[in-house]
Amino acid sequence: GAVVSQHPSRVICKSGTSVKIECRSLDFQATTMFWYRQFPKQSLMLMATSNEGSKATYEQGVEKDKFLINHASLTLSTLTVTSAHPEDSSFYICSARDVGNTGELFFGEGSRLTVL
C-alpha cells in the first residue's frame, strides 16, 4: 500500500528554537496533506491542511505564524514549529491524500517533539 514517511521520528530541542518536521509521500503524489497534533491520552486534533503550491489552511485556534507549513512539491510537506516552548511538546502526525489513485488517506508514523 501507499507509504507516508515522517522525519524525524523523535526530536528534542531547547525552548526558543525552531524545529522542522518533514512528511513525504513515498510512492504517490499528494496535492493535499494534513497535519495533526496529539497530546498524551488524547485524540488527534487537525491543525492544518497543506496545499501544494498555495498557502495552508489552518484550523481555528492554530497559530499560523507559530506552525509554518510549506508544501513545495507533490511529495513533501514540512511543518516548522517556531520558537518552540514546552507546551508545544506533542506527537505530530501527517496524512496524505493519494489523489492519483483512490483518493484515500495514508498516515505517517508520527514525530514526537519534546521541548526542554
Partner 1 sequence: DAKTTQPPSMDCAEGRAANLPCNHSTISGNEYVYWYRQIHSQGPQYIIHGLKNNETNEMASLIITEDRKSSTLILPHATLRDTAVYYCIVRVAGGETSGSRLTFGEGTQLTVNP
Q: How far apart are CA 18 and CA 97, in angstroms?
A: 27
- Contacting residue, 11, 13, 44, 68, with partner 1 by CB under 8 A: 44
Decide if residue 102 touches partner 1 (CB under 8 A): yes
Residue 67 bridge partners (DSSP)? 81
Decide if residue 103 touches partner 1 (CB under 8 A): yes
For residue 14, what are the CA distances in angstroms to 10, 102, 114, 115?
14, 41, 9, 6
- Contacting residue, 13, 20, 29, 45, with partner 1 by CB under 8 A: 45
Decide if residue 90 touches partner 1 (CB under 8 A): no
Contact between 76 and 24 under an 8 Å Cβ cutoff? The reply is yes
Q: How far apart are CA 75 and CA 70, in angstroms?
A: 11
Select 79 or 108, whichever has its Cβ closest to partner 1: 108
Binding mask 2-31 for partner 1 (x = CB under 8 A): --x-x-------------------------
Contact between 82 and 13 under an 8 Å Cβ cutoff? The reply is no
Contact residues for partner 1 (CB under 8 A)? 4, 6, 32, 34, 36, 43-46, 49, 91, 93, 95, 97, 102-110, 112
